[in-house]
Amino acid sequence: MAEALLLHEDPRSGNCYKIKLTAALLGFPLEAYQYDILKGETRTPEFLESINAHGRIPVLQIGERFLPESNAACWFLAEGSPLIPEDQFDRAQMLRWMFFEQYSHEPNIATLRFWCKFVGLNNLSEQQRDQMTAKRIAGQDALSTMNGHLEGRDWFVGSAATLADVVLFAYTQVAEEGGFDLSAYPAVQAWLKRVPTLPKYIAMQ
């Protein structure tokens, strides 16, 4: 990577961890600048003006350019590496699991973890409380889909780890902090032990 890489992040976020794990697996140095999302530090006029008008982290800064969306940042870092399959169909399958992660997994599993562990159940708004049951059911459905796919497979796509594994690992490994019981998903549990054996793996802080 010719240009300096700076991650605008909150270290409690699995979406930020994905990018740090991708960079670590590839041996890329990555500086970090930390924000506290609970204090609204990504909604300040300065942040919206110069980092991300959508008010979210992570944002990967590449030299003077800014790239929001965690899975897009992982893709940028991993292009040309073995973390992206060379085969066209496998590459699309990897993206399939990355879109699944953002649509069916993160909004349920990561959000319930955030509410349970960081916001606190007593501090939730009525609107948030109203969404908990739907998110619980959808999160279990996502874990069940992953478990079925991983039966008889070591990795989500092909015969080696790809970005699909990296991005799904981030919040699955901490799903129990959101009240999900992983013992119902043995193939997921076996895969969760496999990811940390990758060379240069780093754990979430």
> According to CB under 8 A, which one of 71, 162, 172, 173 is a site residue for its own copies?
71
Q: How far is CA 37 from the centre of its chain?
A: 16
Pairing state between β 31-34 and 5-9: parallel
* 159 counts as binding its own copies under rule CB under 8 A: no
Nearest to 63 by CA among 16, 9, 6: 6
* 99 counts as binding its own copies under rule CB under 8 A: yes
> According to CB under 8 A, which one of 148, 153, 181, 186 is a site residue for its own copies?
148
Nearest CB to its own copies, comparing residues 119 and 201: 119
> According to CB under 8 A, which one of 50, 88, 122, 123 is a site residue for its own copies?
88
- Collapsing DSSP states into helix, strand and coil, what is residue 61? strand
Using CA atoms, how far apart are residues 71 and 85, in angstroms rounded to an integer?
15
Q: Which stretch binds its own copies (CB under 8 A): 4-12, 32-40, 91-99, 181-189?
A: 91-99
Nearest to 109 by CA among 167, 45, 39, 191: 167
Task: Report how many residues bind its own copies under the rule CB under 8 A.
Answer: 38
> According to CB under 8 A, which one of 54, 186, 196, 200 is a site residue for its own copies?
54
* 133 counts as binding its own copies under rule CB under 8 A: yes
Cβ count within 10 A of residue 149: 16
Contacts of 148 by beta carbon, 8 Å cutoff, 6+ apart: 187
Residues in contact with its own copies by the rule CB under 8 A: 53-54, 62, 65, 67-73, 75-76, 79, 88-89, 91-93, 95-96, 98-100, 102-104, 106-107, 127, 130-131, 133-134, 141, 145, 148-149
